[in-house]
Amino acid sequence: MRTHRFHHAWVMAAAIFMVLLCAAGVRATPSVFIVPLEREFGWSRALVSSAVSVNLVLYGLVGPFAAALMQKFGIRRTTLVSLCIIATGVALTNFIHAPWQLLLFWGVLVGLGTGTTAMVLGATVVQRWFVARRGLVMGLLTASTATGQLVFLPLLAMLVEHHGWRVVSFTVAGVVAAVIPLVAWLVRDRPSDVGLKPYGAAPDAEEVKASSVNPLANALGALGRASRKRDFWLLAGSFFICGATTNGLVGTHLIPACMDHGIPEVRAAGLLAVMGIFDLVGTTASGWMSDRFDNRWLLFWYYGLRGLALLYLPSAFEMSVFGLPLFAVFYGLDWIATVPPTVRLTTQTVGAEDGPIAFGWVVAAHQVGAGLGALGAGVIRTSLETYTPAWVVAGVICLAAALVVLRIGRGSVQAPPVVGVPAAH
């Protein structure tokens, strides 16, 4: 094997960060589309939310099969195809004039594409390319969602305000298309493709070979094995609540809710960007802590603090200056800080071989929750002309999730030791 002072695993991490960054920007786009689509076509918020709901659910359901496809066909090819699907779906959204077209282009095509470039992509890269620093790298890759909001949302809101939502559609499609050559150039499937061992692996460590099993059978088989473990269902249930209260509720409806209270769209997008800044800090720190502390207690604090923040939100809308920025800071710190501990606990529960695919199924639960959260909040707003019941229900179920995660495992939960790296204490 060749030796390199700078390991290619870090190049992979940087390239995949860019992919996830763009996918995060795409997923953030509906929050600035909802009100313009209502105004142009006269569609209700519940109708527009239904397309977002389909997108979010497909984003999650594709995950396990995407992980299996990566095992069968490789990270590089799977990612390239998914980016092409995303760019096509976003570009075609520019030509919609009927609800079914929004459902097809944004709901189905973009949902399928972003589902392949989701958290399971990061988990697969970390599992395959890293032995040391797994928690830290997973935290950094997860933080790409926050950075995507930081980079894209204020710009998208300004473009919508000054040039209309169709310009935004073409702009986002162009950004995604620009990432495709980067992936073709830098991304490789396995460390052995560049003559290396995974970062931090012992010299005699054996590399997991490409799966010869049909991807569908592989995904369903991993689900069957994982579903026999109670902890898998506790992780999936808590992550369902995570999705409902982040991507589904706040990610989709905070900007329209702000506009209901007379807050301009650009300023509302700035609040999500502030969340992005603090989530970048919180999620990176969460990855670092997941290597060192009991991951159940990390999740307990994340869900508990999120629940309190959501219960505070209705009051924040009534405050003059500091209410919403304070919410953005505290909610942002643990927006997706739940991911690194959940990845680690899932791998511990089902084992390293099934870990990425099983986590894909946990992400599927997350996105089913996101879809129901987006749709439910839209229906509540349409029926009651207020989002307040949605914020309160979300806060209560987050507090319930904080209690559920403490039932995962018995005794002290630690990550299993890996070859070449001492167990964290």
Q: Which tokens belong to 136?
A: 């830290």
Which of 69-73, 214-218, 236-240 holds the top average pLDDT? Answer: 236-240
Q: Tell me, what's the pLDDT at 387? A: 93
Least confident span in 16-30, 199-213, 302-316, 390-404: 199-213
Q: How confident is the model at residue 422 (pLDDT cuts 50, 70, 90)?
A: very low
Please state the rounded mean pLDDT for residues 142-156. Answer: 74
Same fold, 8-193 and 216-409: yes
Q: Tell me, what's the pLDDT at 367? A: 82
Q: Tell me, what's the pLDDT at 415? A: 40
Q: Tell me, what's the pLDDT at 205? A: 58
Least confident span in 59-63, 99-103, 226-230: 59-63
Q: How confident is the model at residue 207 (pLDDT cuts 50, 70, 90)?
A: low
Least confident span in 30-44, 153-167, 208-222: 208-222
CATH match of 216-409 with 1.20.1250.20? yes
Q: Does the pLDDT of residue 209 top 70, yes or no? A: no
What residues have CB less than 8 Å from 53, skipping those under 6 apart? Answer: 107, 248, 371, 372, 374, 375, 378
Q: Tell me, what's the pLDDT at 134? A: 79
Q: Tell me, what's the pLDDT at 417? A: 39
Q: Tell me, what's the pLDDT at 391? A: 96
**Residue bearing the bigger pLDDT, 20 or 410:** 20
**Residue bearing the bigger pLDDT, 116 or 312:** 312
Q: Does the pLDDT of residue 84 top 90, yes or no? A: yes
Which of 42-56, 123-137, 271-285, 301-315 holds the top average pLDDT? Answer: 301-315
CATH match of 8-193 with 3.40.50.300? no
Q: Does the pLDDT of residue 121 top 60, yes or no? A: yes
Domain ranges (residues) in the chain: 8-193, 216-409
Burial of 425 (0-12, 13-18, 19+ CB in 10 A): exposed
Residue 49 one-letter amino acid:
S
Q: Does the pLDDT of residue 195 top 80, yes or no? A: no
Length of the chain: 425
Q: Tell me, what's the pLDDT at 389? A: 96
* Contact of 408 with 235, CB cutoff 8 Å: yes
Query: What is the rounded CA–CA span in Å between residue 118 and residue 85?
Result: 14
Residue 399 one-letter amino acid:
L
Q: Which tokens belong to 261?
A: 């209270």
Q: Does the pLDDT of residue 412 top 80, yes or no? A: no
Q: Tell me, what's the pLDDT at 85? A: 94
What residues have CB less than 8 Å from 370, skipping those under 6 apart? Answer: 56, 57, 59, 60, 243, 244, 246, 247, 248, 251
End-to-end CA distance of the chain: 32
**Residue bearing the bigger pLDDT, 116 or 414:** 116
- Which among 181, 187, 180 is positioned nearest to 83, based on CA atoms? 180
* Contact of 32 with 130, CB cutoff 8 Å: no
**Residue bearing the bigger pLDDT, 216 or 250:** 250
Please state the rounded mean pLDDT for residues 313-338. Answer: 85
Backbone angles phi, psi at 78, to 5 degrees: -60, -40
What is the share, in percent, of the chain residues with pLDDT greater than 90? Answer: 28
Residue 100 one-letter amino acid:
W
Please state the rounded mean pLDDT for residues 235-245. Answer: 94
Tens of pLDDT along 259-277? Answer: 888 888 788 888 877 887 8
Q: How confident is the model at residue 1 (pLDDT cuts 50, 70, 90)?
A: very low
Query: What is the rounded CA–CA span in Å between residue 10 and residue 280?
Result: 18
Q: Tell me, what's the pLDDT at 106? A: 87
- Which among 288, 286, 310 is positioned nearest to 300, based on CA atoms? 286
